[in-house]
Structure 1
């Protein structure tokens, strides 16, 4: 499963693809949410871009987006507060 839902938060299993042409959520592949980010994987730039993109897309403060694991890997587990936008994203990806 590409996400884990708790009472107050959701953990997303993300496959981040740095150095892409643009920031975008691609879809579900191999039980992960594939997200492309423009920034290269150098000195944390891709992670910063990923947090910025998720913050803007899901209307979540950057300070509330946490890396649970995989901060230096392409496969990451990211914790987000459970809100309407996050649940809508999950619903859209499941459809």
Structure 2
């Protein structure tokens, strides 16, 4: 399980930053509308971990900035 904070509409992204406690901060350019930021976060995590998009699932926090993802590595 991966804990992440999403920063939608970010000019800095797409970027993944890893904190000391292991949580990730995901900077995505997509807006937080109609699940676009969630989809962008899944694609970004898949690229970061080197897996396919289907290996990354949002397990909690669909409408929150704080999310949990499951990644099949």
TM-score normalized with structure 2 length: 0.85
Q: Which has the higher contact order (CA 8 A, sep 6+)?
A: 2
Residue 51 (1) aligns with residue 46 (2): no
Question: Residues 12-36 of structure 1: CA distance to partner in whole angstroms, max 9, x if unpaired?
Answer: 1101111101211123177631111
Helix, strand or coil at the partner of 1:60:
coil
Q: Which runs of 5+ in 2 are unaligned?
A: none
CA RMSD of aligned residues (A): 1.7
Deviant stretches of 4+, over 3 Å: none
TM-score, reference length from structure 1? 0.67
Distance 2:25 2:71 in 1: 16
Structure 1 gaps of 5+ residues are 1-10, 83-95
